[in-house]
Structure 1
């Protein structure tokens, strides 16, 4: 039996930013095609049917052609504009609950980091081959999945985190982006 108390864990995360030579709106559209929205109605129907996990896995594979789905997004720029902000930003929670379950079974605290959080936003002004109307670079920023999951101290969870590193690298390659060195070649 564990006594009541507080545990603290300090750990280091690896944040990765990819600068994209493509206008914000066009890249956002390509990203959202590659990572479709979670189809809540279809999954709720499986719940009502008390379906088998194999059915959930099948539907997840159909809904996540590149291993990830968007569970939530926030168009932050609309609100930030009221404070004088001019750069666009969309924040996403993307993930795959079939993969998340493989960590959850070992430690439900894994859901602190699953789904993954990422942002697509207007970066700084810069030289670009294809400038958007604002002259800003488009950026995608995300933390390396395994850097968070390893902090839980469970080798099974860490292994799934490394698998997520590879799936993220595969997604970025599909989007024709530079794959950051921390996740390039992870197998």
Structure 2
């Protein structure tokens, strides 16, 4: 018989906010080049999980895809709020599957919510909750390891955007590779040159 009792889990959520060099529009453009829109057609055409893995490698050259983009500025237009802001859902369902198989509740935190916005000084900022802190809250080692791997991918993304990578994202030890999916590595200069 299933336990129908409600559960409550209190956990650490660590918000990381970094300044990204460039104008708001420039940072959004660079981010959207590095984190392309998920190719639903390619994933629907996959006849096996192996084909889905290959589609993920093609769709997410730096490990992440965009599942949603919301122009907060547009919906707040006319209010007294002076900010530019765009929110995103960023993730990779092939990576998320490695957690989902252990606990479907992880999808509460996958994909990750991210925000690009301008602050009161006019700087462009990128904000996200640190993946490893979110996924460690499930208390399953296999999920925690994936959260740490997502920290590594996030650190790489921030470096490619030209932001200072928070020390909390620096890997303590190299996490094990998670199946066939590997984020392609390219020098930041090469990525910026294509933007």
User: So what's the TM-score if we normalise by structure 1?
Assistant: 0.89
Q: Any idea what the Cα deviations from partners look like across 1:102-131, whole Å, max 9, x if unmatched?
A: 000000001011101110001121xxxxxx
Give the CA deviation at 1:5: 1.1
Which segments of 5 or more consecutive residues in structure 2 lack a partner in the other structure?
Answer: 175-195
For 2:109, the equivalent position in structure 1 comes to 113
Separation (CA, whole Å) in 1 of partners of 2:110 and 2:25: 26
Instruction: Quote the Cα distance in structure 2 between the aligned partners of 1:176 and 1:21.
Output: 6
Match of 2:88 among 87, 92, 95: 92
- 8 A Cα contact 2:20 2:162, kept in partner: no
Q: Any idea what the Cα deviations from partners look like across 1:46-71, whole Å, max 9, x if unmatched?
A: 3xxxx010000001000000000000
Size of the alignment, in residue pairs?
173
RMSD of aligned alpha carbons: 1.1
Q: What TM-score results when the alignment is normalised by the length of structure 2?
A: 0.85
| CA distance, structure 2, for counterparts of residue 42 and residue 11 of structure 1 | 36
SS in 2 for 1:74: strand
C-alpha distance in structure 1 between counterparts of 2:78 and 2:105, whole Å: 35
- Structure 1's unaligned 5+ residue stretches are 126-135
- Which residue does 2:187 correspond to in 1? none
Report if aligned partners of 2:151, 2:169 keep a CA contact under 8 Å in 1: yes
- Distance, in Å, in 1 between the alignment partners of 2:20 and 2:94 is 30
Partner of 2:150: 164
Bigger Cα displacement from structure 2, 78-87 vs 66-75: 78-87
- 2:139 maps to 1:153: yes
Residue of structure 1 in register with 2:23 after alignment: 23
Q: Which residue of 2 aligns with 1:132?
A: none
Q: CA deviation at 1:82?
A: 2.7
Structure 1 segment 115-134 matched on structure 2, within 5 A = 115-125=111-121
